[in-house]
């Protein structure tokens, strides 16, 4: 594992030379991951593109442009679709706080720096969006021009179902929604391929936390926080190692107190929210 990570900030309104450069640099590693995790045994290109057309029609044109930039191959197009990808995990603690007209959504990354793309992209595909890129066009978190902000956390179970990778779902919501309410309504029809948690906040001050289940289904939770487990009878993966329950209890105490939204980020630098044992 490396000891540091260099972040890049890139602005490119529509997919072009900058995105192509990133693709050329990243694809060999992603292709090895995709094939090594059984990606070639997943749905074919036609099925992947049909799923995009059914669930995310607003992104069909962008996907086609990205696939062309990536060389037009079937494997690249299937990977870029985000439909039924191989399983992937992650860490993270999330919290959103709204008080007296002030809104903040804070998250950290509990995964190894070697697994972070380190790319912040400002794009204008369906609308202006800024976010941290995963899987070359999905987002682990971001904000759009309406002030809608979303971040994700692994839900703690490795079970998979038919659905989209969560980073594509975050991208889609930020490209098409103005508010938390609108995003929640769209989530009702968007299947996630694994258990993931989302925390959302918008410019009006509304905040929310949602648990997504493999193959579809969701449950809105309160308060607007998330770590790496979900409510129910299924146990989380490695809870003692990830300290997911301890972290959730800690952040719930934080936001239930008198902490101001603007002060929340600094508290994420304290244990148990700050960790060096990466997921």
Q: Are strands 138-144 and 149-154 parallel, antiparallel or unpaired?
A: antiparallel
pLDDT for position 193:
97
The band of 213, judged by pLDDT with boundaries at 50, 70 and 90, is very high
pLDDT for position 2:
54
Q: What are phi and psi of 234, to 5 degrees?
A: -75, 125
> What distance in Å separates the CA atoms of residue 276 and residue 108, rounded to the nearest whole number?
12
The SS3 call for residue 71 is coil
Give tens-digit pLDDT for 224-270: 999 999 988 777 777 777 889 999 999 999 999 889 999 999 999 99
Give 158-227 as a DSSP string: --B-SSB-HHHHHHHHHHH-SSHHHHHHHHTT--BSB-EEEEEE-TTS-EEEEEE-BTS-EEEESSSEE-
Q: Let me know the angle formed at the C-alpha of 37 by 87 and 17, rounded to the nearest 5 degrees.
A: 85
Backbone angle region of 154, left / alpha / beta, with phi > 0 → left and psi within -120 to 50 → alpha: beta
pLDDT for position 279:
59
**What residues does 129 pair with on adjacent strands?**
123, 144
Angle between helix axes 74-81 and 60-69 (nearest 10 degrees) is 140
What kind and span of H or E run contains 250?
A: helix 244-256
Place of tokens 């709204």: 98
Which token pair is 220? 């809105």
Which token pair is 84? 């039924």
The band of 203, judged by pLDDT with boundaries at 50, 70 and 90, is very high
> What distance in Å separates the CA atoms of residue 183 and residue 205, rounded to the nearest whole number?
14
- Among 101-115, 134-148, 155-169, whose mean pLDDT is lowest? 101-115
């Amino acid at each position: 594992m490396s000891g540091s990570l260099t972040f890049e900030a890139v602005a490119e309104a529509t997919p072009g030379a900058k995105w192509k450069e990133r693709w050329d640099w990243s694809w060999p590693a992603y292709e090895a991951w995709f094939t090594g995790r059984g990606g070639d045994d997943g749905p074919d290109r036609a099925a992947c593109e049909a799923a995009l057309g059914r669930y995310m029609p607003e992104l069909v044109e962008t996907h086609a442009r990205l696939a062309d930039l990536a060389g037009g191959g079937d494997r690249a197009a299937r990977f870029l679709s985000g439909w039924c990808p191989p399983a992937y995990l992650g860490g993270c603690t999330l919290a959103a706080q709204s008080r007296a007209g002030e809104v903040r959504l804070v998250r950290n990354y509990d995964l190894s720096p070697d697994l972070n793309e380190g790319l912040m992209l400002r794009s204008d595909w369906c609308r202006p969006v800024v976010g941290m890129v995963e899987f070359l066009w999905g987002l682990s978190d971001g904000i759009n021009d309406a002030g809608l902000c979303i971040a994700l956390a692994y839900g703690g179970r490795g079970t998979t179902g038919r659905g989209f990778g969560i980073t594509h779902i975050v991208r889609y919501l930020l490209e098409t929604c103005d508010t938390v309410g609108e995003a929640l309504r769209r989530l009702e029809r968007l299947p996630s391929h694994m258990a993931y948690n989302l925390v959302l906040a918008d410019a009006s001050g509304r905040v929310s936390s949602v648990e997504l289940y493999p193959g579809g289904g969701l449950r809105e939770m309160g308060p607007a926080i998330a770590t790496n487990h979900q409510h129910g009878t299924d146990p989380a993966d490695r809870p003692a190692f990830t300290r997911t329950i301890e972290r959730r209890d800690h952040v719930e105490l934080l936001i239930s107190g008198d902490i101001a939204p603007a002060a929340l980020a600094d508290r994420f630098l304290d244990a148990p929210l700050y960790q060096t044992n990466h997921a």
